[in-house]
Amino acid sequence: MTTTLRPTGPERRAEDGARSRSYDICVNGRPVGGVRLATDGRFGPSAGRIEELAVHGPDRRRGRGTVAALASEEVLRGWGCRRVEASVPADAVPALRLAAALGYTERNRNMAKELSELPALPAGSELRPLGAAEYPQWLESRRAGYARAWEEQGVPPGEAGRRSEADHAELLPDGPGTAGTALRVLVHDGVDVGTLWVAHTGPRWEGGWVLDVEVAPEHRGRGHGRTLMLAAERECLAAGVRTLGLNVFTANTPALRLYESLGYRPTVHHLYKPLL
């Protein structure tokens, strides 16, 4: 039997070079599933994305998904893409196995935790609001770090800087007074040792979300990162929010281990693969 992709409609193109198209997954001309392909808006037209790929129940476990994924990569190569991105829910075990078999690598993952009891902070640790006078320097540091993270993923420096500025403007429209947002400084034994940015609500997620945790270099390795995460949970519970999520890069082993030890579990794996 022959598995192919058959377009379900015309390709869509935008002035910035973005492209997208949907296909039926067909076996001998019979639809057995579907796939949606697009260029990835975060990285520009050189990166493609498998946005959806599904094989209907009776045709699963017959290799249809594998062939469809490989055919999708060929389409993206034809678009001039040099890599392909995909996001897979953590509970989609067969899809994760397929991605691993096809050479996809995890870049980062979303994690979440259901909150219940209000955690206590270690002795000597307390939180205070980030002051208005401190905010500009903190914001500039966060913008710069965020832009560097995009540059490390292949985004040109100028575009990375613009994206960082736009995202921070969206998420902090009123600075430290932004509704649904807590900017805090961790003080331990009278010394400022780190900062926390957590949102109780937001335009891109449900529940609470940890946007930034930073421990000053000279104070690292002393458990302050854990304290900041406990503080984030306290902020959410005080706001009536019972779920807290975050994003972590897979290569950041210390952070990943910390979140796992606190009970955070993966919800979505973000994968990529070079298209040679």
Q: Which domains does the chain have, with CATH numbers?
A: 3-103 (3.40.630.30), 113-268 (3.40.630.30)
62-76 pLDDT, tens digit per residue, is 899 999 999 999 999
Torsion, Cα of 124, 229, 249, 155 (10° steps): -90
Is the torsion defined by CA of 38, 44, 47, 51 positive or negative? negative
Q: What is the mean pLDDT of the chain?
A: 94
Q: What is the pLDDT of residue 67?
A: 95
Share of the chain above pLDDT 90, in %: 86
**What is the residue type of 104?**
Y
3-class SS at 212? strand
Task: Provide CB contacts within 8 A for 272, sequence distance 6+.
Answer: 83, 84, 85, 86, 104, 105, 107
Q: Which residues, in sequence order, are CB contacts of 229 under 8 Å at separation 6+?
A: 210, 213, 258, 259, 262
Digit-coded pLDDT (tens) for 203-227 = 778 899 999 999 999 999 999 999 9
CA distance 153 to 261: 27
**How much is the average pLDDT of 124-136?**
97
- pLDDT tier at 276, thresholds 50, 70, 90: confident
Q: Is the model's pLDDT at 7 over the cut of 70? A: yes
User: What are the Cα distances from residue 42, in Å, to 19, 148, 172, 221, 266?
Assistant: 13, 14, 20, 33, 22
pLDDT category of residue 133 using cuts at 50, 70 and 90: very high
pLDDT tens digits, residue range 140-196?
999 999 999 989 888 888 889 999 999 999 999 999 999 999 999 999 999 999 999
Q: Is the pLDDT of residue 59 over 90?
A: no
**Mean predicted confidence (pLDDT) in 2-9:** 94
Average pLDDT over residues 67-88: 96
Q: How confident is the model at residue 105 (pLDDT cuts 50, 70, 90)?
A: very high
Q: pLDDT at residue 1 above 70?
A: no
